[in-house]
Amino acid sequence: MPENGNGRARKLGASGLCPICGKLASEKFRPFCSKRCADVDLHRWLSGGYAIPGTEDSDEDGAESAEPAAPKPRKDEEN
């Protein structure tokens, strides 16, 4: 289960609990319990805290390029 930053496990889904602190969610700030928890979640989104890790060398569709890169000429072969 994902952690919410304060060491306690975060419960996901329609359980009625705040995903940040685990308290009962408020109707006004649903699914959070308060404006503070909503702002904490927004900050995590904006700062990249929820980013999915990936590699830069793969193409957008995840396939590797079919052509190998041309080898660089050696210094003694340069004109």
CA gap 44, 50 in Å, rounded? 6
Enumerate residues 6+ apart whose C-beta is below 8 A from 54: none
Which of 3.30.70, 2.60.40, 1.10.3470, 3.30.50 is the CATH number of 1-50?
3.30.50
- 3-state SS assignment for residue 43: helix
Two structure tokens written together for 65: 């390029």
**16 or 7, which is more confident?**
16
Task: Write the pLDDT tens digit of every residue in 60-79.
Answer: 665 555 566 667 777 776 55
pTM over cut 0.85: no
Other beta carbons less than 10 A from residue 37's beta carbon: 21
Task: Write the pLDDT tens digit of every residue in 25-59.
Answer: 999 999 999 999 999 999 999 998 888 877 776 56
Instruction: Give residue limits of the domains in the chain.
Output: 1-50
**29 or 15, which is more confident?**
29
- 3-state SS assignment for residue 42: helix
pLDDT band at 12 (very low <50, low <70, confident <90, very high): very low
Gap between the terminal Cα atoms of the chain: 61
